[in-house]
């Protein structure tokens, strides 16, 4: 490599400013440097050169400062959703309008993953999404948009090839939220005409249904006021946001911000956030509770007084069971119970989720019941729909008449039970043998002095808790329906009250 040495004639101007570009110590060229890179000697420069350097640095700094002010204080352009075009992809813009549906919060475990809501400005709708840090800040600060709220939001547009448009919220500060002033509506006046609206309601909790473990069903609470009753549904993540969960009990007075929807053709209110449920106290709670019946939401009505004009009302009736019609195995049909009072009849219907919890209260022919439910019409006939096992009360167990050929007190010797008696209710007494588990229940061998027979205790009729008192060798009195399985007769009790332990065993 050849190095070309510079001399006094190499560059123009070196003769005039030689002392400023040539190191006076080592004689080497240093150009605009103020310190020689070879020997470290300081090089004196003209004052004008030094001022120019510092002035250039100052001007650059001031320019950057004004550029920053312009970028941060420039007003983001406001546009109409209907005016968005594909060429506006990635544009940073602003839209303003009303939230057309409650924001949906997506989670990964307990952490908020994203938040999404839709804005309608009159010319169209645009979904707005906030991710992770932005979504978590909105949730934590209680600034989650609700249906009917007025918002002004800025973010970057994403326009897909199929003209689908969405906006991404880059900063929570770019969301200006104005809560809507919602009307307070009596529960009885909320109808399908209000679907899609957000409203405020007040009332007293009359029932709470929590979802079963690993179920995808929501929570459902029923709230009553002086005008009627409605159900409010919400999901587990909403339940986790409720501050005073220990106060979420029947009888609590509450105020809630809800959106109106429908489920299976019936009006249902939806709670989007646990913060939208407020527990009332003091005089306000007393005023809300005053209009609700102290014994619940049901009015006592004779069966003979039930008529089609009462459909939708919640009533309490009592009477004697004339017939019990369980659903077929695997069917989605309800249980049907015919209740009679002073010659008038009504059909009582309930589903398996109620039947599973009836246990000893399970209806049987001849039993006397008090039933509470909502009056409805099915195929032109009135029926009473029961939604909770607590709304069926057994006031008197059936009294069985002595069977022909039976012993005293209506007790029939086991040997006298014949295939011709299938479907009949019999009463027997004997000693329990060894229990044998079967899918959905337990089978005991029952023996008296005349013979023995199987007694089948299904879980849906006699719960495990009710069977705790039963053990091999105990003397029991059993009532139940005679049936046949694989050619062998057996007795099937329809409730825990039909199996009575008479002593401690032999």
pLDDT band at 165 (very low <50, low <70, confident <90, very high): very high
CA distance 504 to 483: 28
In three-state secondary structure terms, 139 is helix
Give residue 409's pLDDT: 46
- Is it true that domain 299-396 has CATH number 2.40.50.140? yes
Residue 292: pLDDT band (50, 70, 90) is: low
Is residue 11 predicted with pLDDT exceeding 70? Answer: no
Query: What local confidence, expressed as pLDDT, does residue 278 receive?
Result: 92
Assigned CATH topology for domain 408-501: OB fold (Dihydrolipoamide Acetyltransferase, E2P) (2.40.50)
Q: Tell me the helices (H) and strands (E) count for the chain, helix number first.
A: 6, 25
pLDDT of residue 454: 93
Per-residue pLDDT band for 8 (boundaries 50, 70, 90) equals very low
Euclidean distance between the first and the last CA atom of the chain, given in angstroms as a whole number: 117
Contact between 424 and 442 (Cβ < 8 Å)? no
Answer whether 215's CB lies under 8 Å from 253's CB: no
pLDDT for res 233: 92
Which residue intervals of the chain bear CATH 2.40.50.140? 81-178, 187-290, 299-396, 408-501
Tell me, what's the pLDDT at 146?
A: 86
In this structure, are residues 285 and 291 in contact, taking their beta carbons and an 8 Å threshold? no
Please, what CATH class does the domain formed by 187-290 belong to?
Answer: mainly beta
Q: Tell me which of 22-36, 120-134, 468-482 is least confident.
A: 22-36
Domain at 81-178, CATH class = mainly beta
Report d(CA 448, CA 355) in Å as an integer: 32
Residue 289 confidence (pLDDT): 76
Averaged over 359-375, what is the pLDDT? Answer: 82
- Residue-level pLDDT at 1: 43
Structure-model confidence comparison of residues 306 and 162, the more confident one: 306
Tokens encoding 446: 């029952």
Beta bridge partners of 225: 228
Check residue 403 and give its pLDDT.
44
Global pTM exceeds 0.85: no
pLDDT of residue 3: 44
Cβ pair 305, 287 in contact under 8 A: no
Cα–Cα distance, 362 to 326 (Å, whole number): 11
Secondary structure E strands in 235-380: 253-263, 266-270, 277-279, 299-300, 314-325, 335-341, 344-350, 368-378
Please name every residue paired with 453 in a beta bridge, in sequence order, or none if there are none. Answer: 446
For residue 418 the two structure tokens come to 């014949």
Residues 486-504 have pLDDT tens digits of 889 999 887 777 788 887 5
> Nearest-CA neighbor of 205 among 381, 388, 450?
388
- 40-95, pLDDT tens digit by residue? 788 777 666 667 778 888 999 999 998 888 777 778 889 999 999 888 899 999 99
Q: How is residue 463 written in tokens? A: 């719960």
Contact by Cβ (8 Å): 149, 197: no
Please give the residue that has the higher pLDDT: either 285 or 265: 285
Closest CA to 368 of 322, 406, 313, 414: 322
User: pLDDT band at residue 255, thresholds of 50, 70 and 90?
Assistant: very high
Question: What span, in angstroms and rounded, lies between the C-alpha atoms of 249 and 239?
Answer: 13
């Amino acid at each position: 490599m050849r190095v070309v040495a510079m001399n006094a004639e190499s560059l123009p101007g070196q003769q005039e400013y030689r002392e400023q570009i040539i190191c006076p110590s080592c004689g080497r060229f240093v150009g605009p440097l103020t310190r020689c890179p070879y020997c470290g000697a300081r090089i004196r420069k003209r004052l004008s050169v030094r001022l120019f350097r510092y002035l250039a640095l100052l001007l650059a700094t001031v320019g950057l400062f004004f550029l920053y002010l312009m970028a941060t204080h420039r007003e983001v352009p406001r546009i109409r959703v209907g005016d968005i075009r594909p060429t506006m992809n990635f544009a940073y813009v602003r839209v303003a309008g009303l939230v057309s549906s409650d924001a949906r919060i997506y989670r990964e475990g307990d952490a908020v993953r994203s938040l999404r809501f839709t804005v309608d400005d009159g010319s169209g709708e645009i979904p707005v999404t906030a991710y992770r840090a932005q979504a978590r800040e909105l949730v934590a600060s209680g600034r989650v948009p609700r249906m009917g709220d007025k918002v002004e939001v800025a973010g970057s547009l994403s326009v897909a090839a199929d003209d689908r448009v969405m906006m991404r919220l880059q900063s929570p500060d770019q969301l200006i939220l104005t809560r809507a002033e919602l009307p307070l509506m009596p529960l009885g006046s909320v109808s399908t005409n209000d679907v899609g609206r957000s409203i405020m309601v007040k009332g007293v909790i009359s029932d709470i249904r929590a979802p079963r473990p690993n179920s995808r069903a929501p929570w459902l609470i029923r709230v009553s006021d002086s005008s009627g009753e409605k159900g409010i549904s919400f999901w587990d993540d909403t339940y986790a946001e409720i501050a005073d969960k220990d106060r979420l009990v029947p009888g609590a007075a509450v105020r809630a911000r809800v959106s109106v929807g429908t489920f299976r053709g019936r009006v249902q209110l939806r709670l989007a956030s646990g913060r939208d449920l407020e527990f009332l106290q003091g005089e306000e709670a007393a005023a809300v509770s005053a209009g609700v019946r102290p014994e619940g939401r049901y009015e006592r009505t004779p069966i003979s007084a039930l008529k089609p004009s009462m459909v939708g009302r919640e009533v309490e009736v009592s009477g004697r069971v004339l017939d019990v019609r369980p659903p077929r195995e695997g069917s989605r049909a309800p249980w049907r119970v015919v209740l009679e009072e002073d010659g008038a009849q009504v059909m009582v219907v309930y589903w398996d989720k109620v039947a599973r919890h009836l246990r000893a209260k399970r209806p049987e022919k001849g039993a006397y019941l008090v039933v509470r439910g909502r009056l409805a019409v099915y195929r032109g006939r009135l029926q009473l729909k029961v939604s909770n096992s607590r709304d069926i009360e057994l006031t008197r167990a059936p009294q069985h008449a002595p069977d022909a050929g039976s012993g005293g007190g209506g007790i029939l010797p086991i040997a006298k039970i014949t295939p011709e008696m299938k479907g009949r209710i019999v009463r027997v007494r004997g000693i329990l043998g060894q229990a044998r588990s079967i899918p959905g229940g337990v089978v005991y061998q029952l023996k008296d002095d005349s013979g023995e027979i199987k007694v089948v205790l299904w879980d849906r009729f006699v719960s495990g808790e009710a069977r705790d008192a039963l053990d091999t060798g105990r003397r029991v009195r059993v009532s139940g329906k005679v049936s046949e399985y694989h050619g062998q007769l057996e007795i099937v009790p329809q409730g825990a009250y039909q199996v009575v332990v008479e002593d401690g065993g032999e």
